[in-house]
RNA sequence: GCCCUUGUAGCUCAACGGAUAGAGCAGCGCCGUCCUAAGGCGUUGAUGUGGGUUCAAUUCCUACCGAGGGCACCA
């Protein structure tokens, strides 16, 4: 099978010393793809660029294997070489994808473990639309690496410790009652949390009260520990429900609280090594050499901090799992925290893995401001999911009334959730995004449902072709060489780039490239669908080849959406 | 003030330093005896500003202007 990666490797092996890159995706007028040559060499050789391009093109033509794969290799412009794949290689790659059980999967990451930390919600707060990003992006990145042969640990690191729980306990002791919490735990806890911050504006002593409750919790106070356990249990139940709806599972779910017992040792070590020192009553690590603000390790009242727990967590993960890389899929707002974490980690010799803050932009409200549970302007995630499913259900009812009620509910869930996931994954993760109902639940154009719909249409053809068509294919072999319509060629060319798109996503740890690739594939599939009739094609060899093509495209769409964590119903 | 992110079409977003800057939505004009019109075809329309590096800059550097976030006991 010829693919872009193969061609690239081949060219690189063939013209050593020339730096270049295979860059331009297929454009029908220019051949299948082009390479471009960087110019430093041209300068050294004092040759005009066009001449270098021609020189390289002729060197490539001299390679017999490349000549077999390519119909033409020509210098087309200063710095550019156009390469046109031979049609036979397109057909070869179609056959390879058609017969693969996991089309496009690789073993790139064989023997390597990576940890992806994502979602990581805070106990006692409901998940809101902002949490979609970490959860959905992290899940997709985990899927992608798994597909590329890595051993992937999906880690949900719950925010279940810290001063905020002291505040919550303080609030509960003042205004809470067991009845309300039992009735609607998350709602009751959030109300307490919000009230605490409201009252804080008039009663500054609450701050100290909250800190004191946390200090007590951390030093083992029975009453506080009981309350904390209760709040946590209730919150977890709500989270589980959310993850079930999103179809997301984790390998490991731990909380900050699990790291308590290992903290004193780390703190002692930091002090003994002279890495940490006292300052204003607190224990800090001075990072002025790295041009960073000091990192706080221990509060002046002796209680621990986020960073302390993260350091312990980091150390333990490296010890137990020996990953080659660790991705923290956490919002951009925590950039400083991770800079500090990595800097102190460096001092402790904890950089044995590639540690990466895979940051993403915030979800802002319609006015462009940060969402805040505390201020009550964050739309709860549950509400968004519910609305998405309702809207999807309405469209499906209109579109395909024959679907049974049960089936419709199932499809509506897949489509509604798919719309929300895709909407997020299509965007470059570093940009802030504005929360917009209509945009999030847009089912047309470049959207999750559009791709799901395309899949369903293709599968519908395959179904209608029926069992006898599969039998017929055994008797009359599909003849891929008959796929010569422009729409067929474009679809074939696009199909070829799937693995490349997945690899690109992994390398950049972004999802938008893959999301775009799948949308484009769906696009080409729809063009094909509109222009080429399949079922009434009387030429059996070609008809069977076309069936093979759409089944393969459908398979790649399903695989690709699967990597993004999106389901593909067979009928919509 | 410093740090992170960001500025591309009316709107929401793309574009390993490469060719004529791509999509979707909205607008305008088409396509229904036909495999699911959530579709297809056509069309209008854009790189915040000034320098610099480069054969080549939306991309890199720099200054300015604008937006969001963060910056010692929250996570």
What pLDDT, in 10s, does the model give residues A400-446? 888 889 999 999 999 999 999 999 999 888 888 888 888 888 888 88
Predicted confidence (pLDDT) per residue in A291-333, tens digit:
899 999 999 999 999 999 999 999 999 999 999 999 999 999 9
Distance from chain centroid for Cα A432 = 16
Strands A295-298, A276-279: pairing is: unpaired
Q: CA A27, CA A84: separation in Å to the nearest integer?
A: 11
Q: CA A488, CA A483: separation in Å to the nearest integer?
A: 6
Q: What is the pLDDT of residue A60?
A: 80
Q: What is the pLDDT of residue A1?
A: 45
pLDDT over threshold 90, residue A265:
yes
**pLDDT-based confidence at residue A550 (cuts at 50, 70, 90):** very high
Q: How far is the CA of A395 from the C1' of B24 (A)?
A: 20
For A286-298, b/e burial (b = at least 16 CB within 10 A) is ebeeeebebbbbb
- Whether A521 and A556 have beta carbons less than 8 Å apart is answered as yes
Q: What is the pLDDT of residue A247?
A: 95
Helix, strand, coil % (nearest 5) of chain A?
A: 60, 15, 30
For nucleotide B34, give the residue with the nearest CA to its C1': A533
pLDDT over threshold 50, residue A451:
yes
Strand B bases contacted by the protein (CB, 7 Å) = 2-7, 12-20, 23-26, 34-41, 54-56, 67-75
**pLDDT-based confidence at residue A84 (cuts at 50, 70, 90):** confident
Those residues with Cβ within 8 angstroms of residue A539's Cβ, 6 or more apart along the chain or in another chain = A482
Q: How far is the CA of A8 from the C1' of B61 (A)?
A: 30
pLDDT over threshold 80, residue A2:
no
**pLDDT-based confidence at residue A3 (cuts at 50, 70, 90):** low
Q: How far is the CA of A280 from the C1' of B73 (A)?
A: 9
More confident residue, A185 or A223: A223
Looking at this predicted complex, what is its ipTM? 0.94
Q: What is the pLDDT of residue A341?
A: 96
Closest nt to residue A30, judged CA to C1': B19
pLDDT over threshold 70, residue A147:
yes
Q: What is the pLDDT of residue A102?
A: 92
- Whether A557 and A450 have beta carbons less than 8 Å apart is answered as no
Closest nt to residue A393, judged CA to C1': B38
Q: How far is the CA of A136 from the C1' of B62 (A)?
A: 37
A23-37, A152-166, A425-439, A488-502: least confidently modelled range: A23-37
Q: What is the pLDDT of residue A15?
A: 59
pTM, full prediction: 0.92
**pLDDT-based confidence at residue A46 (cuts at 50, 70, 90):** low
Q: How far is the CA of A462 from the C1' of B16 (A)?
A: 38
Q: How far is the CA of A80 from the C1' of B70 (A)?
A: 44
Q: What is the pLDDT of residue A337?
A: 96
pLDDT over threshold 90, residue A103:
yes
Q: What is the pLDDT of residue A481?
A: 87
Q: What is the pLDDT of residue A251?
A: 97
Q: What is the pLDDT of residue A25?
A: 38
Closest nt to residue A537, judged CA to C1': B35
| Plot region of A75 (φ>0 → left; ψ -120 to 50 → alpha; else → beta) | beta
Closest nt to residue A430, judged CA to C1': B5
Q: How far is the CA of A566 from the C1' of B28 (A)?
A: 35
For nucleotide B6, give the residue with the nearest CA to its C1': A431
């Amino acid at each position: 099978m010829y693919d872009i990666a193969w061609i690239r490797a081949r060219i690189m092996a063939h013209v050593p010393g020339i730096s270049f890159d295979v860059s331009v995706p297929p454009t029908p007028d220019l051949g299948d793809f082009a390479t471009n040559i960087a110019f430093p060499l041209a300068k050294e050789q004092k040759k005009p660029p066009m001449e270098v391009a021609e020189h390289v093109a002729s060197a490539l033509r001299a390679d017999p294997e490349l000549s077999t794969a390519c119909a033409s290799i020509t210098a087309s412009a200063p710095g550019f070489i156009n390469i046109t794949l031979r049609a036979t290689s397109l057909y070869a790659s179609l056959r390879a994808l058609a017969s693969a059980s996991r089309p496009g999967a690789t073993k790139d990451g064989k023997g390597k473990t990576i940890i992806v930390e994502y979602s990581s919600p805070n106990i006692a707060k409901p998940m809101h639309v902002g949490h979609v990003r970490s959860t959905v992006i992290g899940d997709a990145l985990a899927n992608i690496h798994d597909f590329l042969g890595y051993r992937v640990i999906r880690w949900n690191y719950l925010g279940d410790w810290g001063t905020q729980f002291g505040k919550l306990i303080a609030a509960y002791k003042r205004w809470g009652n067991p009845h309300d919490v039992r009735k609607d735990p998350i709602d009751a806890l959030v109300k307490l949390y919000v009230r605490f911050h409201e009252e804080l504006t008039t009663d500054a002593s609450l701050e100290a009260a909250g800190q004191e409750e946390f200090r007590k919790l951390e030093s083992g106070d029975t009453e506080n520990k009981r309350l904390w356990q209760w709040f946590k249990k209730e919150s977890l139940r709500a989270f589980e429900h959310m993850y079930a709806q999103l179809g997301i599972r984790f390998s490991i779910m731990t909380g900050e609280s699990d790291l308590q017992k290992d903290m004193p040792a780390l703190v002692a070590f930091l002090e003994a090594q002279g890495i940490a020192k006292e300052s204003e009553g607190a224990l800090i690590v001075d990072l002025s050499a790295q041009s960073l603000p000091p990192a706080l390790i221990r509060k002046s009242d002796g209680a621990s901090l986020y960073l302390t727990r993260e350091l312990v967590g980091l150390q333990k993960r490296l010890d137990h799992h020996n990953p080659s890389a660790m991705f923290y899929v956490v919002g951009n707002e925590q950039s400083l925290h991770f800079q500090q974490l990595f800097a102190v980690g460096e001092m402790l010799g904890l950089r044995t893995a590639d540690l990466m803050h895979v940051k993403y932009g915030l979800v802002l409200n319609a006015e462009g401001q940060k969402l805040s549970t505390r201020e009550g302007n964050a739309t709860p995630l549950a509400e968004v999911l519910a609305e998405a499913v309702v809207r999807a259900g309405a469209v499906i009812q209109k579109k395909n009334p024959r679907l049974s009620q049960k089936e419709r509910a199932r499809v509506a869930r897949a489509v509604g959730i798919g719309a929300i996931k895709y909407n997020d994954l299509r965007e470059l993760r570093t940009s802030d995004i504005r929360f917009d109902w209509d945009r999030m639940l847009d089912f047309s154009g470049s959207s999750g449902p559009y791709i799901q719909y395309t899949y369903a249409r293709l599968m519908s053809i395959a179904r209608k072709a029926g069992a006898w068509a599969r039998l017929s294919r055994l008797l009359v072999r599909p003849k891929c060489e008959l796929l010569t319509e422009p729409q067929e060629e474009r679809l074939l060319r696009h199909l070829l780039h799937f693995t490349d798109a997945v690899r690109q996503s992994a390398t950049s740890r972004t999802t938008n490239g893959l999301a775009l690739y799948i949308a484009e594939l769906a696009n080409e599939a729809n063009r094909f669908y509109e222009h080429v009739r399949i079922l009434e094609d009387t030429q059996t060899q070609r008809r069977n080849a076309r069936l093979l093509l759409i089944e393969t495209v459908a398979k790649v769409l399903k695989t690709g959406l699967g990597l993004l964590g999106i389901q593909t119903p067979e009928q919509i």
